[in-house]
Structure 1
Amino acid sequence: MATGNATAAATGTAPRRRRAATVVAGALLLVATVPLVFRAAGSDGVTPVPQLLAFLPWLLVPAGLALALSLAARWRPGLFWAAAVLLGLTAFVRPYGDGAPAPHGAPLARLRVLTANLEFGRATDGLLAALRRESPDLVAVQECDPERCATALDSPAVRAAYPFRLLAGHGASEGSAVLSRFPLRADGAVAGELAMPRASVTVQGHRLRFQVAHPMPPLPASLATWRTELGRLRDLAAARGPEPLVIAGDFNSSQDHAAFRAVLEAGLHDSAGRTGSPRTPTWPARTTPVLGAQIDHVLVSDALRPRAARFLDLPETDHRALAVDLELYATR
């Protein structure tokens, strides 16, 4: 009799386990499917879709786990669903917008661009070390607080290395800066909650426009602002004129966000993507390079050709810095 009860209990346990596995698999697939559908539709949707889209490649993990659970539960619809999600995610993991024509002729100039988000100025010392180590020609700084960062950038050593600069914004998160070895003049700004100044820079007799990017992050309360500010960067790219354009900074968006892809589609190219690092994470720094999203970018127009990109770990900030070597060619 006891043996019969044990057999009945075991027989009842297996269906319960399969049902539990089916429920968990369905939940995991739902988490992966919703952002995938919006990605395919070319829309960023509403919270939590934009936040999930930033980590789209990592959704392969719950989708793969759902496939294993569906197999264990003998849930045939789940197997087909998981396979479809995995195929869809794999298709979108490929680099986006990497079809720029190669410039012709010899380069007119070579320059190095560095962008760094200092997280309220905390990584100022790390930035100064990176400037000495990397010797960039143009620097875009975000979250340059007026006390620590702005004061450090005004030191004699930094002024000697970078005699030309722009400072904008007054708060710890709002402040931005442009440092340059080349002559520059203020060239307006992109309107935003966080300062996004622009400079006209003369590089060995050739002018280019250098724009700092720092739209608001896609938090639930600031989604509309995030879209609007990325739209203003897109408008700048679309109306850029004949002069070469660089937009560098913390875009708070990845290639899986429709609002960011619209900036690229206005005629710009992602330097990291063109040099073979389209998915190297820059945020959050605590989990990179294993886990994260690439939201810090250096975007360039056709007259600028990226030759190399390096991701730099700075202490005391939640972002990795990005240094890009560029060649400037004559515009056609």
Structure 2
Amino acid sequence: MGNMKIAWGESAGTGSILHHLIREDGKKDPLFSTFAALSPAFQWSWDNSPDSELDMIYKSFSNLSGCGYEYNINCLEDSSLEKLILANQKLFSQARTKGFFPVGPAVDEVWIQSIPAVSFYHDKYWKGIEAAIISHCANEPYSFTPKITTQAEFDEYLRRFFPSENLENVRTAIRERYDCAVDLNGNFQKCLAIVIRDAMFTCNTRDLFQAYSEVSYMMQYAFPGIEFAVHASDLIPLFLNSQQEVIDLLHEDIGPFYAWFLGNETPRTYKNYFTSFALTGDPNKGLSSPKVAWPVADGSGDELSGVMNVGLLPRFSPCHR
């Protein structure tokens, strides 16, 4: 791998990696041969018909920018950068309370022929990948799950995620698969969190693994414990270098607690794996050899085996995601 081309991404950045892999039905070289995909996330956006949800989002952004509910691109082009930044922040603030991402890659039938889940299913993705790290955080949905208490609110979320009457069969299948009343004793908040985890994160990690199963190192990040392993928390031990940096980032409420754990062996081992992967395409080669070798995951069963579980003590365990 002396001539490696590398792409790393987290959250929407990894969502971009997915869409590069399925660009033009996988016929276009994404210009990277290895990738690290951390918590791949994006809103499924496929309906580009007139006055669809995509158009409504555009109009909302236009109005927040002071250009009204219009398709007036000239007005937006003439707007100040400060005004556009503020409009973008307001748009995301409104969407966050409902558990959605307002903008992201969308099907245009040219660059993106279909959503990644469909493209991977139909074997329409770039095949020239030599190695990959694919991961998710154990508590991904914490920051994205709106507060709900009833079946009606759960159903309304599904209606917004899969709009139109034509998708009622999809919404019904999800309600049957995630039976909140029976399986979780009516805890619709927790039930929706599981749906969001699967639909927006771990289904993407499984799609990537199935596409590149022979070269994929899989990981679940649960450091220092599952409750604290929220979305993007895996970046803390990867990029921050001191306890004070952690406290400055997380503030006084949780910073000192998290910083104390950062002093143990886990972050050093964690960085060693990723740095070695960046250098060689193999997390076990490059820097010092790790005490425990990280294998390519085994997908021969319903659960993946050989998945790195990052906690206070790194270990390998089966994982159904």
> When the two structures are superposed, what TM-score results if normalisation uses the length of structure 1?
0.26
Higher helix share: 2
Higher strand share: 1
If you compute each CA radius of gyration, which structure gives the higher value, 1 or 2? 1
